[in-house]
Chain A
Amino acid sequence: MTQTARPLSPHLQIYRWRVNMLQSTLHRLSGLFLCLGGLLLAWGLIAAASSAQAWSTFATFCGSPIGLVLFIAWSWALLFHLCNGIQHLFRDAGMGYDVPLRDHAKTPSYFATGWLVIAISVALTVVVWVCYFLRANGGAA
């Protein structure tokens, strides 16, 4: 691309930090991480289609401490990407910008919904892992 002598737009350090910067970064990072999760899904399905031994190797990895840490991270990555993605879709439809509320008198709802998305994704992750441990302890959940 030919370089032009136009002025540069202000870069990251110019702007006041806002939660949507965190959301944007986390959305991309969680998306990258979920691609790895997709490969794990492929491994699991291929193992289940192959042999009892292949499934047992997969299950041993999933049940290992590393596997558990990865699964906790994957569950939150999935739920955050899901919640944030739903917010993206609403904003794509032009909803949720609330221009009249974007003043300094109160917290603008544009940013409040960002914190809400993060809070809901964490809460849902906790719910999923409560279900997991209830099942692991032989519960009926």
Chain B
Amino acid sequence: MSTGGDNSLRNPLKTARGYGSAQSGVRHWWLQRVTAVALIPLSLWFIGLALALVHADFVSARAIIGQPVHAVLLVALVVALFWHGALGLQVVIEDYVHTHWKEIALQLAVRFGAFIAAVACIFAIARIALG
């Protein structure tokens, strides 16, 4: 790794400590905001949908969920929701879990859990809307 020469403003401390920058910059911060902006209209719409589903029986619930507009927006909601949630849980774990193996295990569990939950939701919506 280059140290940048004598004229560099880079502090050699980052290499001295052996870790250095993760080179991911503001990616986490930015994705958290992008999914948040998406979730503003989606969650307001979802509250309306949830109220429409109150007391719905099996057949009418499927009819409501299966409407093309509802199905598409539900898929968008599920993707943004679990992505945003996984990013948030990641930070909570980084802040409070300091035992290395527990932190790795929890981070993996959050990623896998969010992914499988999103996939399961999308599969369910597709089955209702297309089946």
Contacts and interface: CB of A to CB of B under 8 A. Distances in A.
B2 to A, nearest CB: 22
Interface string A24-63: 0000100110110011011001101101100110000000
Residue from A1, A39, A41, A86 whose CB has the most chain B CB atoms within 10 Å? A41
A35 B120 contact: no
Contacts of A73: none
Nearest to A1: B17
A1 B61 CA distance: 53
Interface stretch (A99-107, A108-116, A131-139): A131-139
Interface in A56-98: 56, 75, 78, 82, 85-86, 88-89, 92
Contact of B85 (A38, A75, A88, A92): A38
User: For chain A, what secondary structure do more than half of its interface residues adopt (helix, strand, loop), or is it mixed?
Assistant: helix
A131 B55 CA distance: 13
B36 A89 contact: yes
A16 B31 CA distance: 33
B96 to A, nearest CB: 10
A128 interface: yes
Nearest to A79: B47
**Which of under 10, 10 to 19, 20 to 34, or 35 or more describes the interface residues of B?**
35 or more
Contact of A92 (B33, B47, B62, B82): B33
B89 interface: yes
A9 interface: no
B37 A89 contact: yes
B61 A55 contact: yes
Contacts of B89: 32, 35
Nearest to A82: B43
A82 B51 contact: no
B92 A28 contact: yes
B74 to A, nearest CB: 7
Contact of B65 (A38, A48, A82, A136): A48
Contact of B43 (A42, A78, A88): A78
Nearest to B81: A38
Residue from A31, A35, A75 whose CB has the most chain B CB atoms within 10 Å? A35
Contacts of B97: none
Interface of B: 17, 33, 36-37, 39-40, 43-44, 47, 51, 54-55, 57-59, 61-62, 65, 74, 78, 81-82, 85, 88-89, 92, 117, 120-121, 123-125, 127-128, 131
Given A2-B17, A31-B88, A49-B123, 10 more contacts: A31-B85, A31-B92, A38-B82, A46-B121, A52-B58, A55-B61, A85-B40, A86-B40, A92-B33, A128-B51
